[in-house]
Each structure stands twice: as structure tokens, then as C-alpha cells.
Structure 1
Amino acid sequence: MPVPMDPRTPQQRVSDQLAAAHRQLTRPGLTRADRARVADRIHDLTAQARRIGA
């Protein structure tokens, strides 16, 4: 069975993931640990976006 292909470019995928992480960060009721985890994810995604030129 063939694997479905994602029609988005790598830049679009990173951009979508960053937007989702920012939405998650603004949710009420996040613990400090969750907030730190999401902030780390945003930092990693931002670095990845710089590398691929998004």
C-alpha cells in the first residue's frame, strides 16, 4: 500500500507546526512544565525554519 504524500512544502509544514505551537502556548491552564516544553518546541521549529529558509 503506498504511503500518502504530504502536498505541503517543508516550509509550509514548519510554518503550520509553529502556528500550532503558538496556539498551544496561549491555551489557559498549561502547567509550567508544559509551557517550557512548548517553548522549546517553538525554539526548535524556529531554528529549523531558518535552516530551510522559511
Structure 2
Amino acid sequence: MPDKIETKVYKLSTLVESSSEEEVNQLLSSFSCEKNPHVQNYLHHKAI
């Protein structure tokens, strides 16, 4: 049986309103998506 993967859902606008840009960038940089590297690149470099 595979290990359980922890998943969290965040609304980007709420994060930006309640946290510093640096904190949001740190959170987004932890996102990983091997199946769709374009999504990962967007969140790491362009989302904010």
C-alpha cells in the first residue's frame, strides 16, 4: 500500500493578502508536480 500523501489546498489571493510575498513564495516553491512541469514552473516563477 503506498504512503499517504499530505495535500493542502490554498486560495492564492488569500495567501497573498494574509502573508508576505516571501512567505508565499516559500510555500509555492515547495510545490512539486512531476506529471505537469508547466504547472510547477508557473507556481514557482509566475503565480504572484
Same fold by TM (over 0.5)?
Answer: no
TM-score, reference length from structure 2: 0.40
TM-score, reference length from structure 1: 0.37
Which is higher, the Rg of structure 1 or of structure 2? 1
- Bigger RCO (CA 8 Å, 6+ sep): 1
Higher helix fraction: Structure 1 or Structure 2? 1
